[in-house]
Amino acid sequence: MQQVTSASKPGRRLWKSIVLHRYLYFMLLPCIAFFIIFSYIPMGGLLLAFKEYKFNKGLLASPWVGFDYFKAFFNSYQSKALIKNTLIISSMKLFLYLPFPIILALMFNEIRSKWFKNVSQSILYLPHFLSWVVVIGLVQRVLAPDTGLLNQFIAKLGGDGSKFYMMEPNSFYQIMFGSHLWKSLGWDSIIYMAAIAGVNPDMYEAAKIDGASKFKEIWNITLPSIMPTVVILFILSLGNILSAGFDQLYLLRTPGNMQLSDILDTYIIRVGLQGGQYGYATAVGMLQGLIGLILVIIANRISRKVSDTSLW
Amino acid sequence: MSRKWMKFMALPVMAAMLVTGCSNNNGNNASNDQASDGANGGTNNAAATNAAANATDGKPATWIADRTIKGLIFMDSDDYTEDMNPEIKAEIQKRTGINFEFELMKADHSIDGLIAGLAAGDLPDFVAFYLNNSGRPEMPVVLKAAREGMFTDLTPLFKDTKVFSKYLQDDFLPSDTKNGVMFRPEFNGSTYFTHMNIDRNGGQVTWRGVGGPYIRKDIADQLGVDPLSIKTTDQLYELAKKIKDGNFKDDNGAPVTPIGPRFWGGREVGALFNDLEWGADDQRIKQTKDGKILHEAQTDYAMKKVEYVQKLLKEKLIHPEFFTMDESRSTEGAINGTWGIIADMHSYQDFNQNMRYVPLSPINQVDGPYQKVVSFKSGYSAWAIPSTTEKPEDIVKFADYLASREGKLLWKYGLEGRDYTLDANGNPVVKQEVIDLKAQDPNAAKALGFAGVGNNWGDILGSTDNDNKADFGEVNYGDNASANQFPAVEKIAEMYGLDQQIKDARVVDAYQPTAFLGEFANGTELKTAFDTYNDSLVQAYYSKSADEAKKILDSALKQMEAAGLDDYLKLLADKNADPKTKVLVE
C-alpha cells in the first residue's frame, strides 16, 4: 500500500503542475500536434525500406523483404562513389565552412558605422532568399566559356578565356563551395551575431583596462563566449553529414563533373523516385538519417566529456 | 390512322430516308470515302446528323450515359487545359450525355506523379500517362499496377466498339504496342492499358516537316555550298571551317558560331554525326554486319566521335556549350542568326517561315548511305481504367466516340459555325478569324478549347486510328483554309526531296533496343549505367587528351558490364530472333 502511494506521488505532482500551468500547456498543444502529425506519423513510412510495396495492398499488408534494399545498395557499383562524394561535399560544408560565418559575425560586431553595418548585412543576407535555380543560373553565366564574366576578364588579361569551368572536374569543388558560401554566409552569421550580442560588455571593459588589444578581446572573450553556440550548431549539423544539399548539387551536376557531384540525395531522386522504387529510395534515405543520428550521439558524448556543452 | 395504313406510309418514308442518306454520302469526294467507311471507324458529319435523327427517346445515337467521367492525367504538357471551353463541354454533353472533366497532375517528372497517384490508390474514372513504347520508364510502373489488379481488363469492352475494336484485329497494332504494351503474353488475351496515337495505315507519313540540321541560307549561298551535298561529318567539318573563315555576323553584329546547338536547347545530337553514331542516339545499340549486337562503347565509333567533337571544340567550330545550353539561349541564337548551322530543328518553326535556314542533307550512316526509317506504326501515351471504376464500359464508349470522326471533328476543329465551316466534300474549313486569333493571341485562341488552337484535351482518349487526310481532307489543321500558316513547310519538303525519301524509306515494325529493360533482372542498374555512359561521352568530349577520353569511356563500359550489359545484349539477340519481338538493331 505504501509502495502504491509513493509510486503515484510523482504522477499526482505532475498532474497538479499541469493543472496549475494549464494555459502554458494549452499553448504547447499545437506544437505537439504539429510534430506528431508532420514528423512522427510520417516516420511510419520508413517501413517501406523493408517492404515490397504493392499498390493494391498498401504499406502494412505488402510483403516484407528484410534488408534486401540495403544489400542492393551496398552491392551497387555506385555506392562507394556516392558515399565518398557525399562525405567529401558535406564535410567541406561542415568543417571548411564553419569558421566563415563566425568570422563574418565577428567582423560585423566590430563595425561602428550603423549605416554601413545595416547596408552590408542586408547585402549579405539577400542571397539566402534566392533559390538555388537562380544562383546556379548566375554561376553558369559568370563561368560560361568565352562569354562569361570570368573568362572575358581572363581574356582581357591576355589569357585564353575559353575554359568551360562547369565541365571541369578540377573546378567543381571550388564552384560548389564558392556558391554555397555566397548564398549561405550572411544568413548563417546571424545566429553568431546573436550569441555575440549576449556577451557581457563588462568583460570587454575589464579587458580594455587590462590593456588587451582588439584581437585579444576577440580571441579571449568573444570566441570562448560563443563557443557553446558553435559546438551545438556543429553537433546538429553532423546529423546532416550524409545530406550534402540536394538542390545545389542537382543543378550543378554536368556530365563533366558528375563523378564528383553525384551524391546520395541526387541518387535517391534519380534511381529511387524517378525509377519508381520507393522502397529502395526509403532504404537509402533511412541510411542517411541513421548515420546522421549515430554521429550526433557520438559527437554529443565527446562534447559532454571534453566540455560542458552538449545537446542533452 | 389504322396500323395497316401506318405500315404503308412508313415504308416510302424509310425508303426516302435511305436514298437521302446515300445521296448525302455520295456527295463526298473520293478523299472522304475512307472516312465514311464504317470499317475505318469514321462516320462523316452527314452520317452523324442522320444518326442523330434516327436516335430514339429524343437522344442522339451517340448517347452513352448521363454521367460524369473524370480523369487524372499524369502529363506535364501545356497542351492540356483543365478548364474546358463551356460551349464545347455542353456540346459533348448534348451528344453523349457525358460531363467530361479531368485534372492534370503536373510534377517535375510525370512519372513521379504517376507513382504517387497509383500509390495513393484514390483514382477517378480513368488515368492517362506518357508511354512512347514498352521501354519507357512508365511501363514497369503501370505493369506492376496491372499485375496487382489495379486496372480493368479492356479486351471485352473493346469488342463492341467501332474504333477500339480494331485493336483486337491481328494487323492493326504495331508489334511493340501489341506484344509489349497491351496484349502481353502474361495477360492471356486481356489488356489493361490502351496505347494511343496509332495510325490507321502502316508506314503512313503524314507529317510534312523536315527535321535535322539546318544552315543559314545566306551563308550557304555566299560560300557557294549546296546544303544537300553535305553527306559526311568530314564535309560538315570543312563547311564549319569555311563558315568560321567567312567572319559572318548575326543580327546583333556578333560573330556567327559555325555549329550551334539544337533549337530546343543543348544536348547530344545524333543527326549531326550519323556516320559516327552507333545506333540511335537514345539507344546506342546496333548490330554488326556479321549479326552481333553491340553497344556503342564496344565499338571504335565512340572514340572516333570523341576525336571528331574534340577537333570541332578545339578549333571553335562548335559552340562550347553545345551539349548543355539552356533552351532560351539556344532559341535566341537561332532567331538572331547566331548559329551558322543549327544542329537540329524542323520546318514548322515559326521563326523560319521566311526560310532563312535551309536543311542540310541527312548525314550518312555508319554502315552506308542514309535511308529514312519509318515505323510501321508507333504509339504514344496511354490510358487505363482503375478497377474501382463503376461501369467502365461507359469510359470505353466515350473514348470510342472521341476517336470517331465526329468526335475528332469536335475536339480537333471545335464547333461548326463558330470555328469552321464544312466545304462541299464535308471537310472542315477553318475560319480565318480563328487562324488570325491563334496568330495574334494564342492564349485567347486556346480558350476556344480544341486541338487546332492548342488545347489537346481530346487526344487523351480520342487520338488513335489517325488519318487526318482521309478524315478531314487535310494533313494539318487549317490547310483547307489555305491560310498558309507555314509557307516554308512544303517548299522545304520539296527542296529536301521528302517525297522521294518517304518512297525509299525502310518501314520497320520493331522494338527499341532498350524496350526490354523493364523485364531484365538488372534493368534499373543497367538503365543507370546507360545514362552514365551518355554523360561519360560528353565528359570525354571535354577531356584534355585522347587517352583521358579513352579512360572515361572504358570506365563507363566497365560500369555497364558490371550492370549486366552482356546479358542484356544476349537477351536482345534472343528477342530479335523471335518474329514477334523484332528489335530495331539494323
Residues in chain A with CB shorter than 8 Å from the CB of B539 are 167, 255-256, 258-259
State ipTM: 0.74
Is B21 a residue whose pLDDT tops 80? no
Contact A93, A241 (CB under 8 A): no
pLDDT for B163 beyond 50: yes
Are B419 and B450 spatial neighbours (Cβ–Cβ below 8 Å)? Answer: yes
Q: Does A276 touch chain B (CB under 8 A)?
A: yes
Do the beta carbons of residue B201 and residue B207 sit within 8 Å? no
Q: What is the pLDDT of residues B226-263, one digit of tens each?
A: 999 999 999 999 999 999 999 999 999 999 999 999 99
Q: Please tell me if residue A200 touches chain B, with a CB cutoff of 8 Å.
A: no
Tell me, what's the pLDDT at B334?
A: 97
Of A58, A146, A255, the CB nearest to B538: A255
Please tell me the number of Cα atoms within 13 Å of A82 on its side-chain side.
Answer: 21
Q: Are A172 and A261 in contact (CB under 8 A)?
A: yes
Alpha-carbon gap: B243 to the closest alpha carbon of chain A (Å)? 19
First to last CA, chain A: 36
Nearest to B568 by CA among B298, B187, B300: B298
Question: How far is the C-alpha of A68 from the C-alpha of B106, rounded, in Å?
Answer: 32
User: How confident is the model over A184-198, as pLDDT tens digits?
Assistant: 999 999 999 999 988
Q: What are phi and psi of B280, to 5 degrees?
A: -65, 150
Cell output for B278: 552507333
For B333, the grid coordinates are 541564337
pLDDT at A78: 81
Instruction: Tell me if residue B207 falls in helix, strand or coil.
Output: coil
| C-alpha R_g of chain A | 25
Q: Grade residue B483 by pLDDT with cuts at 50, 70 and 90.
A: low
- DSSP one-letter string for B370-387: ---EEES-----EEE-BT
Q: Cβ atoms within 10 A of the Cβ of B579, count? A: 7
Query: How far is C-alpha A204 from the geometric centre of its chain's CA atoms?
Result: 33
Q: Residue B364, SS3? A: coil
A124-129 — which CB contacts under 8 Å span 24+ positions? A124/A185, A124/A186, A124/A187, A124/A189, A125/A186, A125/A187, A125/A190, A126/A186, A127/A182, A127/A183, A127/A184, A127/A186, A127/A187, A128/A183, A128/A184, A128/A186, A128/A187
Q: Give the residue from B185, B131, B81, B189 showing the smallest Cα distance to B444.
A: B81
Interface test with A, best of B111, B112, B115 (most A CBs within 10 A): B115
* Band of pLDDT at residue A97, cut at 50, 70 and 90: very high
* Rounded average pLDDT over B78-87: 79
Sign of CA dihedral B207, B211, B216, B218: negative
Residues 6+ apart with CB under 8 A from B551: none
Verify whether the Cβ–Cβ distance A56 to B111 is below 8 Å: no
Q: Is B190 left (phi over 0), alpha (psi -120 to 50) or beta?
A: beta
Q: Which among A54, A76, A276 has CB closest to B141?
A: A276
| Interface membership of A104 toward B (CB under 8 Å) | no
The DSSP call for residue B291 is: S
What's the gap between Cα B261 and its chain centre? 22
Secondary structure letter of residue A271 according to DSSP: I
Alpha carbons A161 and A260: distance in angstroms, whole number:
24
- Overall average pLDDT of the A207-214 stretch: 88
CB-based contact, B497 to chain A, within 8 Å: no
By CA distance, what is B111's nearest residue in A? A274
Q: What integer pLDDT is reported at residue A276 of this predicted model? A: 66
pLDDT in tens, B568-582: 999 999 999 988 888
Which phi and psi (to 5°) does residue A64 adopt? -75, 145
Q: For residue B316, give the nearest of B295, B334, B340 by alpha carbon.
A: B340
Any B CB within 8 A of A168 CB: yes
What the block records as the C-alpha cell of B477 is 489543321
**pLDDT tier at B113 (50, 70, 90 boundaries)?**
confident
CB distance B524 to A277 below 8 Å: yes
Other CB atoms closer than 10 Å to residue A18's CB: what's the count? 12
* pLDDT at residue B42 greater than cutoff 50: no
Interface A–B counts its CB contacts (< 8 A) at 74
Asked if A246 reaches chain B (Cβ–Cβ under 8 Å), the answer is: no
Q: Which three cell numbers stand for residue B512?
A: 527499341
How far is the C-alpha of A44 from the C-alpha of A77, rounded, in Å? 30
User: Closest Cα to residue B205, out of B467, B495, B389?
Assistant: B467
Contact yes or no for B296/B278 (Cβ under 8 A): yes
Q: Give CA–CA dist B381/B460, Å, rounded.
A: 8
Q: How far is CA B159 from the centre of its chain?
A: 27
Lowest-pLDDT choice from A8-22, A156-170, B278-292: A8-22
CA B243 from chain center: how many Å?
34
| Cβ within 8 Å, pair B542-A256 | yes
Average pLDDT, chain B: 87
Chain B residues touching residue A167 (CB < 8 angstroms): 324, 539, 542
Range ranked top by mean pLDDT from A12-16, B55-59, B103-107: A12-16
Give the model confidence (pLDDT) of A29-54 as tens digits: 999 999 999 989 988 888 989 988 88
Q: How many CB atoms lie within 10 A of CB B177?
A: 27
Whether the Cβ atoms of residue B270 and residue B281 lie closer than 8 Å to each other: yes
**Alpha-carbon dihedral sign for residues B564, B569, B571, B572:** positive
Please tell me the predicted confidence (pLDDT) of residue A275: 65
The sign of the CA dihedral A74, A77, A79, A81 is: positive
Shortest alpha-carbon distance between residue B572 and chain A (Å):
22
Contact criterion met (CB below 8 Å) for A284 and A202? no
Q: Which amino acid, B471?
A: D
- How far apart, in whole angstroms, are the C-alpha atoms of residue A131 and residue B187? 48
Q: How many whole angstroms separate alpha carbon B536 and alpha carbon B520?
A: 23
Secondary structure in 3-state letters for A137-153 = HHHHHHHCCCCCHHHHH
Which pLDDT score, from 0 to 100, does residue A291 have?
84
Res. B223: pLDDT tops 70 = yes
Q: What average pLDDT does this structure show over A278-303?
A: 85
Cross-strand bridge partners of residue B67? B98
pTM over 0.80: no
Give me Rg for the CA atoms of chain B: 26
- In angstroms, the CA A301 to CA A196 distance is 26
Cα angle: B12, vertex B16, B19; to 5 degrees:
140
CA separation for the pair B475, B463 (Å, rounded): 14
